[in-house]
Amino acid sequence: MAYIEWKDDYLTGIDVIDDDHKHLFKLINTLNDNAEIGLDIDAVGVALNDLAQYVERHFSREEAFMENFAYPDLLAHMRGHRSIADQVRSFQTAYEENPGTIGTDKFLEFIRDWLTSHILKSDMAYVPYIKGGGSS
């Protein structure tokens, strides 16, 4: 069973954003699987690195959409993105420096909870605006 299950409730109706979100779910599940089955530290590190890089790409893509449509809450949304990206990078750095002392359970729980609530609240707030061509 997947650590984090995709549900249609997460669909924004913006294909590229939905594809990004699905891929983030996949990366989180891969990281969990690698940690859970006891793969070596390098495999977990690679999965964590993939997640960190994809988070950055997704945030950039999502922010470009919001900027193109002059989304009024763009700056607040960007602050949320920076906060999560900083936390992911911080965990990644800690893991690289001393992987034996860093547990992935707490991190995975945090990223899962953040991602699902972010999609359902923050992301859904911009969807009508973008689909409306810049007017809410």
- Residue 44 CA to residue 30 CA, distance in Å, equals 9
Q: Which residues contact 133 (CB under 8 A, 6 or more apart)?
A: 69
117 pLDDT higher than 60: yes
pTM value is: 0.85
Question: Model confidence over 77-101: pLDDT tens digits?
Answer: 999 999 999 988 888 888 888 877 7
Q: Is the pLDDT of residue 39 over 70?
A: no
Q: pLDDT at residue 36 above 90?
A: no
In terms of Cβ atoms closer than 10 Å to its own Cβ (0-12, 13-18, 19+), residue 47 is buried
Task: Please name the residue that has the structure tokens 């809450």.
Answer: 73
Contacts of 92 (CB under 8 A, 6+ apart): 48, 49, 52
> pLDDT tier at 40 (50, 70, 90 boundaries)?
low
Residue pLDDT, tens place only, 119-130: 999 999 999 988
Instruction: Find the mean pLDDT for residues 40-54.
Output: 80
Tokens of 46: 């690679």
pLDDT at 45: 78
Least confident of 25-29, 41-45, 60-64, 104-108: 41-45
* Average pLDDT, rounded, for the chain: 87
